[in-house]
Every structure is written in C-alpha cells, then in structure tokens.
Amino acid sequence: MEIAIPNLRHLRVFLAVAELKSITRASETIFLSQPAITQAIAKLEGLLGAALFERHSDGMYPTPSGEVWQKRVSRAIHHIQNATLEIVKDNTPKERVQKNLVALISTTQLRALIAVCEAQNFSIASRNLAVSQSSVHRAARDLERLLGVVLFEKNSLGTNATKAAQTLAKATKLAFSELRQGIYEINALQFKDVSTITIGSMPLARMTILPKSILQFNERHPDVNINVTEGPYADLLHHLRQGDIDIILGALRYPSPADDVVQEELWAPPLSVVARTNHPLMSKHPVSAKELAEFAWVVPAKGTPTRQAFEDIFHDAGIPLPTRLVESSSQILIRELLIESDRLTLISAHQVEREINIELLNVIDFPLEHTRRPIGLCVRKSWLPTVTQSHFLSLLREISEHFR
C-alpha cells in the first residue's frame, strides 16, 4: 500500500507547535493564523490516525505518537534543508540565501522533482504521478524559480536532471523514507503494525539466512510486508543510498563502497568448486588447478568477489584462465548447465545445499578455505530503524550464528 506523504507545510507547523508548546507562540513565529495552525494539526492527526498533542493548561505536549513524529519529521526536514542550502550556496549571493527556504517548498513540487528525475521524461513522470503533464511542468518550474537554479535540461534522449536536481531528489527520497518510518512507528504504537521492510538481496543470502529469517519473523509479525529486491550490487547500493531500500544483504565490499553506508559482517563461508555428481573430477582427490582449467566454467560477471576468486585460482597456479566461459548470476541457469554438462562453477556450497542433498550436484575436492567471503548487511549510516526493523536485524544476526 502506498503511503501518503503529508503536506510539507503542515509538517513545519507541527514542528513549531511541538517545539514551542503553544499554538499562539507558533503563530507568531511562523506567521500563520491560529485557526490555520489548528486546521493543519487536525489534518495531520486525521492522516496519521493518531492524536499528536495533549492539551494542558500550560501548553501543548506531544503524545507518544507525537514524540515519534517529531523525531522523524525533524530528520526529514533536515535532509531537505541541507540539500537546498547546498544547491543555492554556489548559485546565490550569500546575503540572499534563505535558511528557511524549505518553508516555501511544497510536497507537490518535491514529488514532481523525484518523478521527473527517475523517468527522465515529463510525460512519463506525469503518468506515473497520475496528474497532467502541465501540472508536473508547473511544479518543476516553480521549484526552479524558488531555488534560482536549473533543475532539468532537454537533450536528445529526453530530459536530463542536473546535479542540483539529483542532490535535492536524493535528499527528498531520504526525507520521505523518514516520514514513512514515522508512520510505521505510529501504527505499531496502536497495535496495527502493517509496515514494510525492503531488502536488497544478493544470491548467497537469498538461499540461506534470508528465507529462514523471513519465516521466523513473520511468525511474530504476520502483518508486516517484506519486499525483496534483486539486482546487480551497484544498483542495490544506489537504491539503498536513495532510501528505496532499507538493507542490502550479501557479500560485503572492502573498502566500504561509500562513506554514507556502514557494513556489518554476519558470516564468512568459503567458496567451493561445484559440478554434477558424476563429473569426471569427482573421483580425484585432491584436484589440481591444471585439471580444473581443462573444463568449461560458469562464472559471475567481472568485478564481483567470486569472479576475482575464480581468476585467482589460476593466476596463483601460474596457468592461463579457462576460455570456454559462460557468465551468469542466475542460479537456475547455473544449476541446469552443471547438471547437463561437465561444466564447473565456483559458489558457496550453502547456495546449492538442496541440490547436493538430492545428489544432483557435489563439491569437488579442491582446497578453497582461504576464499571465505564476508557475508553481511549494509545500511545507510544515518538510518534509524524502527523497532520492527530492529527485530528483523536481530533475527538475521541470530540465524547467521547458526550458519557460522
């Protein structure tokens, strides 16, 4: 279910009341009438389905839901505030930079910004938002005028998002992610936790710790949705840093792939050379690198840790790499190629545990203990998980201990 992002101006009103403990004082600070502030708070409470303030004789104090919302809204506004200041500082004289620029930006403008950045086309963006193309154009151009920078440029392929647009779009997506987190937390306080955890998963994790974690987690949180996204590591990392994914689970990269993410090792299984059960090399103990080079292989793409380990086998032995290679990360394709031929692959035995148990595949006797790969999770450095998400992380850690 799509989570509705509240009006940005209503969020600023909420923060002013939460900080000043008074509608009257908030009215004087943000130059908005008291009835307008009261109406904005009522709309937010209606959207969230929870009371955000308790009214007392000495002021207005956030409820438990209000405290959660204040924390998340503050973090969201901080993302957008920093991005707008970064954008305008190089394009506007210092004395004209408005620190309260966020007060002038609307949620509609930010949603249009994200849609055009992702689609690279105004027509497609308007269809994705289910609004007219003229509305998207107007929102984008109004935002450009407000910031005093160019956000979109036409090119032969469509519309190109400038660096300023990309900076603000990333910050906005992180801000919207914070607001969704806040909505999830407020729902959980009311015993209606229907949140979503989005995981970017690499192959080994998909076949081992992830399914076990999901099954155990759903026993305790039956209404929480788990979205698992697959794809190349670079794509998953991009979506993690943009706030589209909460966690990446898979082989860790060293050095760390970006300064705004953190990694945590959960488990470090070794790689194995795997082939069909009746492969000619199954009868040899041990097998040499020269013998491995005589056969065709199925290998992952260049730049991956497993591909590097594959090449190291032959470089370390001083012999040429095998040449009859099929590149694929599809476990289904790899399995079928191995079963129907004498091809070999380099993979963790845990990934093909079922095939080994029913004697379709087996491990060739070639020592690879030194190829242990750290498997773990990668999250944004600034990410603040909900209680529900923290429980899922705890389960990942517990189940990884069994695999160790």
Model confidence at 97, in pLDDT bands (50, 70, 90)?
Answer: very low
Examine the pLDDT at 250 and tell me if it is beyond 80.
yes
| Same domain (yes/no): 308, 261 | no
281 part of a folded domain: yes
Share of the chain above pLDDT 70, in %: 97
Supply the pLDDT for residue 96.
Answer: 44
d(CA 274, CA 292): 11
Domain-embedded: residue 180? no
Q: Identify whether residues 17 and 151 lie together within a single domain.
A: yes
Q: What is the mean pLDDT of residues 345-361?
A: 93
Q: Are residues 333 and 263 in the same domain?
A: no
Shared-domain flag, residues 398 and 294: no
Average pLDDT value for residue range 150-157: 87
- Structure tokens, 56: 């007392």
CATH number of 253's domain: 3.40.190.10
Predicted local distance difference test score (pLDDT) of residue 403: 77
pLDDT at site 93: 52
332/99: higher pLDDT: 332
**Average pLDDT for 230-244:** 94
Tens-place pLDDT, residues 275-310:
999 999 999 999 999 999 999 999 999 988 899 999
Q: Are residues 257 and 396 in the same domain?
A: yes
**More confident of the two residues 75 and 3:** 75
The range of the structural domain enclosing residue 393 comes to 193-268+375-403
pLDDT in tens, 65-91: 999 999 999 999 999 999 999 998 866
Q: Give me the pLDDT at residue 95, please.
A: 44
- Token pair, residue 25, equals 């004082």
The predicted-structure confidence for 170-184, as pLDDT tens digits, reads as follows 999 999 999 999 999
* Whether residue 348 sits in one domain with residue 222: no
User: Does residue 99 carry a pLDDT above 70?
Assistant: no
Q: Which structure tokens are listed for 4?
A: 């509705």
- 198 in any annotated domain: yes
| Residue 276 shares a structural domain with residue 349 | yes
Mean pLDDT for 7-27 is 94
N-terminal to C-terminal alpha carbon distance within the chain: 37
256 shares a domain with 340: no
pLDDT higher than threshold 70 for residue 94 = no
pLDDT over 60 at 207, yes or no: yes
| pLDDT above 90 as % of the chain | 79
Indicate whether 244 belongs to any domain.
yes
**pLDDT at position 156:** 77
Q: Do 249 and 303 have their domain in common?
A: no
The 10s digit of each residue's pLDDT in 323-335 is 999 999 888 999 9
SS (H, E, C) the chain: CCCCCCCHHHHHHHHHHHHHCCHHHHHHHHCCCHHHHHHHHHHHHHHHCCCCEEEECCEEEECHHHHHHHHHHHHHHHHHHHHHHHHHHCCCCHHHCCCCHHHHCCHHHHHHHHHHHHHCCHHHHHHHHCCCHHHHHHHHHHHHHHHCCCCEEEECCEEEECHHHHHHHHHHHHHHHHHHHHHHHHHHHCCCCCCEEEEEECHHHHHCHHHHHHHHHHHHCCCCEEEEECCCHHHHHHHHHCCCCCEEEEECCCCCCCCCEEEEEEECCCCEEEEECCCHHHHCCCCCHHHHCCCCEEECCCCCHHHHHHHHHHHHHCCCCCCCEEECCCHHHHHHHHHCCCCEEEECHHHHHHHHHCCCEEECCCCCHHHCCCEEEEEECCCCCCHHHHHHHHHHHHHHHHHC
User: Who has greater pLDDT, 333 or 371?
Assistant: 333
Give the residue, 204 or 225, on which the prediction is more confident: 225
Indicate the number of domains in the chain: 3
In the predicted structure, residue 262 carries a pLDDT above the cut 60:
yes
More confident residue, 198 or 202: 198
Same domain, 105 and 251: no
pLDDT in tens, 46-64: 999 999 999 888 889 999 9
Does residue 132 sit in the same domain as residue 12?
A: yes
CATH of the domain at 67: 1.10.10.10
Residues 35 and 163 in one domain: yes
Residue 176 is assigned to a structural domain of this protein:
no
- Sign (positive or negative) of CA dihedral 315, 316, 318, 322: negative
